[in-house]
């Protein structure tokens, strides 16, 4: 997600400003220290980039309920650390080789150190909660909320791993998986911000609902972009998910709606070109043509439109939830961020 | 560590009783539920056994400062979950194939699911803290203590991984490594028990010191047993650490005290027989003879005696720290447990 597109300019500027505040405390928790290799590996993704969207949600949610965002910095850092730990471990499991334009942690330091670096980031997330300058009562609630999300994260990832061994997954199964894998941490981000800023349970509940829906929309839109985005903007070949056989909402919809013949045709391409085709006696141009045909099948069955609509509906639902909150710049920013999730082109 | 050796009988009975209480809450946190594979993998080590020594320390420490052990159950469960998470991940890194008489998690479910099961156990540890029925102030202190230990656990494991690429390590480096890898969690166990049971900082500090020293003694004695124990009682070949090239306190002492000739002789065996020798054109009897010679070298240089003495001194230091506590059955149990650590024969 890159920044700077007209109506979102101010939002992006605020995200950047907040990211600076967050990074100060983030790197205080993972400084350059001994054992050097461990801390280097743990700092790799946070140093490589990332927009700190989840911390922004935490801080902005605090403001949206009338609280002081500065009180929410450490909880925001905790969420970002959880996010980064899960990236490190997921990249091992998915055998991904690059992330944020850099080689993945396990590619640089090996699997053992990557497991350990992820563990350290996870542990540091709870240290961040521990450091939060909020009442012990609020700290306990923040802990409870983040723990619930990190449990769900594991459960969502387990479903995703399980999907790999399956011929197909249903729409319902897919939605459950991303609810855990992407929805839970956005939910926790907004909710934690609410907890820090208010005692009003209705506000906190609204933020939680906003986050869950936005997180899921974010993931679905990611899957849509893989099929429709400009290859150059996206930085990877169109249809890379089809090559890898990734079970997305689009594919789940297709399988619930296509006839046997169409399914058969699709399965000839789906998951057949994982990794680099070079040196395997396969011609990239032929693969591309086959992938484009598969995408055509998805389009014909309305599967891409379906997923796009679901993503947009989730964002609407998310923003509707915020109606109980008083109007404010912070609430507006959350609404804008949600819209951006399903309007971005890369 | 098996139970039932005369003077320790009553202690062992109490450990068993407490283990039942602990397991009730432990399995409440990791029940049989969906995603089935994830929870099965996470339950594997807790179900396979383990004496729940660390939880026993937590509960007994609470009583030793005059508190109610029942209040400390969830913190005790948290410590046991951290212990189990670290076993799952360490076993992947060490490529160990069995644990508690069963195949390791990654051997049964593969590395990906093992990473995830470890992550879930880690996450559940913090859920256990979250559930503790203690004041929010105490909960915050328990969190801080456990987080510190889990950071140290990662740091200790990173040092241990780093040792694998080193020709040798110094006594000082070894002590730093086990302080993190084994000392930190025993320290946290006793300290957390203290926090739950009292406001007296002197008591809490004493328990913390007791735990750190006991944990380190435990590890050193484990390394000694690998060289001197009865093969049948130990359940693995004598000198398996020498075959694997594990850098223990004994080996560190040897290298700081042996001349070049002795070192050279030792290095011909050290680390040369990792894994099973079967089918590698090596005769087990020859290996055994070589390993026995290497052990003889360590004996001649007083390295085994040195490590045994250090372990016993650590236990003395540990128990001395408890002198500030009022006398009680609980304090006596902690003292007995510490002594057992360096008297056990397997």
Any domain includes A282: yes
pLDDT band at B180 (very low <50, low <70, confident <90, very high): very high
Considering only the beta carbons, identify the residue of B127, B154, B159 that sits closest to A123.
Answer: B154
In a domain, B346, yes or no: no
Q: What is the pLDDT of residue B280?
A: 65
ipTM (interface pTM): 0.95
Asked if the model's pLDDT at residue A346 lies above 90, the reply is no
CB contact under 8 A, B92 and A113: no
In the prediction, which pLDDT does A283 show? 79
Q: Which of B324, B249, B340, B333 is nearest to B11 (CA)?
A: B333
Whether pLDDT at A274 is above 80: no
Provide the shortest C-alpha distance from residue A120 to chain B (in Å): 6
**Nearest alpha-carbon partner for A23 in A76, A82, A99:** A76
b/e string for A216-254 if b means 16 or more Cβ within 10 A?
bbbbbbbbbbbbebeeeeeeeebbbbbbbbbbbbbbbbb
**Which pLDDT value is given to residue B239?**
87
Kindly state whether residue B46 falls inside one of the protein's structural domains: yes
Contact yes or no for B338/B215 (Cβ under 8 A): no
CB B163, CB B177: distance < 8 Å: yes
Taking CB atoms and an 8 Å cut-off, how many pairs form between chains A and B? 126
Helix axes A249-257 and A171-178, enclosed angle (nearest 10): 170
Collapsing DSSP to helix, strand or coil, A60 comes out as helix
**The pLDDT of residue B4:** 46
Identify whether B273 is part of a domain. yes
Q: Quick one: pLDDT at residue A4?
A: 45
- For residue B1, tell me if it sits in a domain: no
Report whether pLDDT(B234) > 80.
Answer: no
What CATH code is carried by the domain that includes residue A10?
1.10.600.10
Q: Is the pLDDT of residue B210 over 90?
A: yes
Cα dihedral A305, A306, A310, A313, rounded to 10, equals 60
Give me the mean pLDDT over the A23-45 stretch: 98
Confirm whether A1 is domain-assigned.
no
B35: chain A residues, CB-CB within 8 Å: 155, 158-159, 162
Picking from B89, B127, B135, the nearest residue to A115 by CB comes out as B89
Output the six-digit token pair for A283: 């011609």
Residue A195 lies in a domain: yes
- Give the count of domains, chain B: 1
Q: B130, A111: Cβ pair inside 8 Å? A: no
Task: Please give the average per-residue pLDDT across B144-172, as a whole number.
Answer: 96
Angle B205-B207-B209 from CA coordinates, rounded to 5°? 70
DSSP state of A98: E
Question: How large is the average pLDDT for residues A305-314?
Answer: 98
State the pLDDT at residue A344. Answer: 87
Which residues on B lie below 8 Å from A158 (Cβ)? 35, 37-38, 113, 116
What pLDDT score was predicted for residue A272? 87
Inter-chain residue contact A137 with B135, CB threshold 8 Å: no
B32-52 pLDDT, tens per residue?
999 999 999 999 999 999 999
Residue in B37, B118, B161 nearest the CB of A112: B161
The answer on pLDDT for B1 being more than 80 is no
Nearest residue to B221 (alpha-carbon basis) of B173, B266, B182, B191: B182
pLDDT(B5) > 70: no
Band of the pLDDT at B275, cuts 50, 70, 90?
low
Domain with A20 in it: 6-341
Spell out which residues of chain A touch residue B150, defining contact as CB-CB under 8 Å.
119, 123, 126
Task: Give the tens place of pLDDT for each residue, B100-133.
Answer: 889 999 999 999 999 999 999 999 999 999 999 9
Nearest-CA distance B65 → chain A (Å): 23
Give the chain A residue nearest B111 (alpha carbons).
A93
Nearest to A130 among B35, B127, B140 (CB): B140
How does pLDDT run across A143-155, given as a tens digit for each residue? 999 999 999 999 9
Judge contact between A11 and A333, C-beta under 8 A: yes
Q: What is the mean pLDDT of residues A65-78?
A: 98
pLDDT score, position B240: 87
Give a yes or no: residue B208 inside a domain: yes
Residues of A in contact with B144 (CB under 8 A): 130
For range B213-227, the mean pLDDT? 96
Q: What is the mean pLDDT of chain A?
A: 94
Task: Pick the closest to residue B201 from B149, B150, B153, B145 (CA basis).
Answer: B145
């Amino acid at each position: 997600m890159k920044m700077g597109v007209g109506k979102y300019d101010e939002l992006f500027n605020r995200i950047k400003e907040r990211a600076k505040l967050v990074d100060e405390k983030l790197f205080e928790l993972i400084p350059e220290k001994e054992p050097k290799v461990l801390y280097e590996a743990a700092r790799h993704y946070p140093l490589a980039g990332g927009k700190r969207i989840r911390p922004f949600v935490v801080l902005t949610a605090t403001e949206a309920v009338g609280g002081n965002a500065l009180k929410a910095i450490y909880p925001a850092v905790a969420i970002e650390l959880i996010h980064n730990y899960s990236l490190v471990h997921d990249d091992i499991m998915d055998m991904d080789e690059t992330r944020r334009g850099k080689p993945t942690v396990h590619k640089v330091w090996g699997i053992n150190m990557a497991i350990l670096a992820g563990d350290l980031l996870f542990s540091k997330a709870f240290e961040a909660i521990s450091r939060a300058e909020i009442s012990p009562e609020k700290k306990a609630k923040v802990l409870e909320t983040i723990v619930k999300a990190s449990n769900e994260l594991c459960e969502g990832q387990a479903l995703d791993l399980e999907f790999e061994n399956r011929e197909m997954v249903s729409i319902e199964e897919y939605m459950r998986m991303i609810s855990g894998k992407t929805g839970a941490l956005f939910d926790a981000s907004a909710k934690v911000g609410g907890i820090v800023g208010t005692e009003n349970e209705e506000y906190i509940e609204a933020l939680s609902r906003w986050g869950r829906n936005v997180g899921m929309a974010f993931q679905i839109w990611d899957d849509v972009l893989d099929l429709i985005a400009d290859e150059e903007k996206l930085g990877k070949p169109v249809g890379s998910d089809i090559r890898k056989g990734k079970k997305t909402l689009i594919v789940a919809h297709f399988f619930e709606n296509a006839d046997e013949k169409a399914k058969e045709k699709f399965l000839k391409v789906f998951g057949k070109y994982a990794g680099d085709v070079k040196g395997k006696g396969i011609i990239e141009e032929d693969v591309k043509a086959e992938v484009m045909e598969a995408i055509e099948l998805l389009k014909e069955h309305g599967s891409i439109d379906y997923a796009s609509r679901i993503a947009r509906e989730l964002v609407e639902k998310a923003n509707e939830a915020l109606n109980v909150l008083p109007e404010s710049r912070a609430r507006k920013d959350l609404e804008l961020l949600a819209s951006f999730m399903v309007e971005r082109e890369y």
